[in-house]
Amino acid sequence: MFNRVVITGIGMVTSVGEDRDSTWEAVRAGRSGIGRLQGVPGLAGIDMLGATVGNPADCEGGTRNMPMAIRAAGEAIQDSRLLEQAIDLTRFGCALTAQMGDTPGYSGLRADASPSKTASTWWKEWLPNTVCANVANHFGLEGPRHCNSAACASSTVAVLQATRAIQDDQCDIALAGGVQTIHPLLAAGFNNMRVLAYHEQPELACRPFDTNRTGFVMGEGSGMMVLERLSHAVARRAPIYAEVVGGRICCDAHHVTGLNEDSASLSWLISETLRASHLSPNDISYINAHGTGTLQNDVIETRGIRNSFGKAAEDVCMSSTKSMLGHLVNAAGVVELAVSTLALRDGFAPPTVNLTQPDPQCDLDCVPLVGRRQEFEHALKLSVAFGGHLAAVALRRWSGIGERASLLPESFAA
């Protein structure tokens, strides 16, 4: 019997909000979390921008990934009302992304020296599965545990891994998501690649699908989702946001940082995701794009959607929330999927801010500047990552038992 999978909990920590609701409120209103980047070790004197959570120089227990991930996971679990009921933790799985290690204890360390006594243990600072293991341990999750590294598609892949584990009856519930902080090595690498956007007014820097784009802006944050077998959620009368109706992963076997200009792999991914979800292009009303604000990504993503949607592309709206949140890399997919889920619940398409001069090559309805009310039943999330990792998830708004009512005020007209 096929196990349908639904979303029963969401948690977020971002540059624009300390939790799910404040983040969604800011995104709806088009508020940016991008500012001047300060306090990153080793990058003094380099004028860079970032959408940060607090000051990167401030560390809790020597690390920053861990507290953000635990906070978002705790919110998602509480939101799902699992804490109110007795749950079999051996049937509660966890699929989180790998992370670039928190390494404050090794900053400036000589090869022949030892870390300071105040530094975190080496495995907490270096092992890529540290956050996954510690979050699962913190909440006592004893089901299947997955940790993947697929660049900025990682947390989208994590959601699909959790979905598959439930469909395969390995577990009834799974926590899925990721976390990202701005690490000096990552920041220096992107800076050397010359892919980072800059503007004298930081909030105007990230401009997806705009002729005047200059690149992307690094972001920080964490997103977590509780996924659950539908029958299990209904049995415990859980509140439900949406159903994960399908998804696919593939690879653009072309280049580590470049994409094939014909968009064939992305078009295949979209078409296969719709086929697996038993949907047609006409069923999708909203797409949350990868939308980095680089010429290559914006044009090729638009081309891939047009190739797979055909005439239906004229009726779909698409936005890039990276224009406000920055690029959360490992956490990008799940945070943007969470935003898409809340958009379905509230019937509201979030905006692509700073889109003042649309690129003629990016000629879809990109919801420029201001979001809008728009009822829709299905949404599609796309992730297009370095290394050629491509992933997509299709969602259906839940309108059955346990439906979550919209929290959007009737007077909201942005």
Active site residues: 152, 290, 327
Query: How many angstroms separate the Cα of 312 from the Cα of each of 3, 280, 380, 400?
Result: 30, 9, 14, 27
Nearest of 57, 7, 12 to residue 324 by alpha carbon: 12
Query: How many angstroms separate the Cα of 189 from the Cα of each of 73, 193, 257?
Result: 29, 6, 12
Helix (H) or strand (E) run with residue 93 in it: strand 92-97
Max CA distance (Å), the chain:
64
DSSP H helical ranges for 15-139: 20-29, 65-79, 122-126, 130-139
Residues 378-403: b if buried by 16+ CB within 10 A, e if exposed: bbbbbbbbbebbbbbbbbbbbeeebe
Tokens of 234: 């209904």
Q: How far apart are CA 105 and CA 358, in angstroms?
A: 45
Helix axes 130-139, 65-79, angle to 10 degrees: 40
- Residues with Cβ within 8 Å of 160's Cβ and at least 6 positions away in sequence, in order, are 247, 248, 249, 391, 393
Cβ proximity of 272 and 248 under 8 Å? yes
Tokens of 28: 């709806």
- How many whole angstroms from its chain centre is CA 389? 14
Q: Which residues pair with 299 in a beta bridge?
A: none
Query: How many angstroms separate the Cα of 365 from the Cα of each of 20, 236, 371?
Result: 26, 40, 12
Beta-strand ranges (E) seen in 181-237 are 218-219, 221-229
- Residues with Cβ within 8 Å of 41's Cβ and at least 6 positions away in sequence, in order, are 57, 104, 107, 184
